[in-house]
Amino acid sequence: MTRLLCIPMPTKCMEVLLVEDHCPIIMSSTIQRPRTKAFPFRFQNFWCNYQNINTIVVNSWKMSQRGTNMFKLMRKLKHVKLKTKEWAKKHLGNTYDKLAKNACKIDYVEGKLIQDSNSYRLNSWMHRLLK
């Protein structure tokens, strides 16, 4: 039984003892690997509006690297990518969820504006959502 613990997800099937003094054991195992999908890095244009991005790029570009020019470029770009991803996650959170929530709010306000197009409160809310 301890050997079964070494095999990931073991299953066994024992046949019924027929006439002979032994029965066959059929054993199979499957390896369950978690699927991780690597998403490509995409720099968002609106990040340029933040001063921190300039600091991240300048600091990454000033790093000294050893190797060929192409290797240095690759390492600097990789460092910019990692630092930018950390910054975006820390300061902005999940922007896609925020955009989806904002789209739902816009739909709601548009529906209300159709009913009452002269409402100052709804018009100012819509203006803030579209910024």
- pLDDT score of 26: 66
Token pair for 16: 């019924």
CA distance 84 to 81: 5
CA 129 to chain centre: 25
- pLDDT score of 83: 93
CA distance 6 to 58: 50
User: Residue 44 pLDDT > 80, yes or no?
Assistant: yes
pLDDT per residue as tens digits for the range 63-106:
888 999 999 999 999 999 999 989 988 888 877 787 888 888 88
